[in-house]
Amino acid sequence: MNDIVRLALEEDIGSGDITTDACVPADRQARGQFLAREPLIVAGTEVLAQLYSDLTLHKRDGEACADGDVIAEVAGPARLLLTRERVALNFLQRLSGVATLARRYVDAVAGTKCRVLDTRKTTPGLRALEKAAAAAGGVTNHRMGLFDAILIKNNHISAAGGVKNAIEAARSTGLPVEIEVRTRAELREALANGAAHLLLDNLSPFEAADWIREIAGRAKVELSGGITLESVRDYAETGADYISAGAITHSARAVDISFRLELL
């Protein structure tokens, strides 16, 4: 069992599920259904597989559900199904919420060349699950953490002593380098020093389009900074290659999923 899932069970059950143990005979068997209560994109079924040994999936991660669709069925001791219900729902609702919002972002930029990226703005401890959910919704995973890709941001530039210093030092690693630029002067300095991937942050769509015209294909361009579901299409139409949206993970609403139990 995944450590995060184990911790979630320990947090909820503690010394024991006193309500279930008091009300439900130990030998009673049951089955239950996880039901979508609104249109959604499923994610988090890997957690269900860790919580239940008798599991039948009717929907896979990335598949769409209508209101009333059965996502999964489980069977086993009634006490186990009841005791693990809330942990299962917490994961499934949260992760399906991320996948559902991710799909909305992807649909909003359909027909452009722009790809939507997730970010590191995830719930502590849940990054792998939330990024898997974002991918299930159709976005492209950006770096998993600080260890697997170089992204020079404004504070790195300040600490390194400038754009040129930061790029030259990062290039010595042999890894691809992405750099955030804040001004036109930094943009030109980055291009002059061979930057192949630029991050433009907190520009309006009009400003971004103007900067991208100057870049003229000399580097890949990622836009970020407060880009919402309502504005993402305008940013995608600037000619950007990528848009990163932290909201996909940090602001996704948990979707409505219920659990219905019946005795065998």
64-65 vs 29-36, strand pairing mode: unpaired
| Cα 126 to chain centroid, rounded | 10
Give the C-alpha separation, 196 to 219, whole Å. 4
Give the C-alpha separation, 30 to 98, whole Å. 30
What sign results for the dihedral spanned by CA atoms 222, 224, 227, 229? positive
- Active-site residues, by number, are 86, 121, 153, 180, 201
Write the CB contacts of 183 (distance below 8 Å, at least 6 apart in sequence): none
Give the C-alpha separation, 229 to 214, whole Å. 26
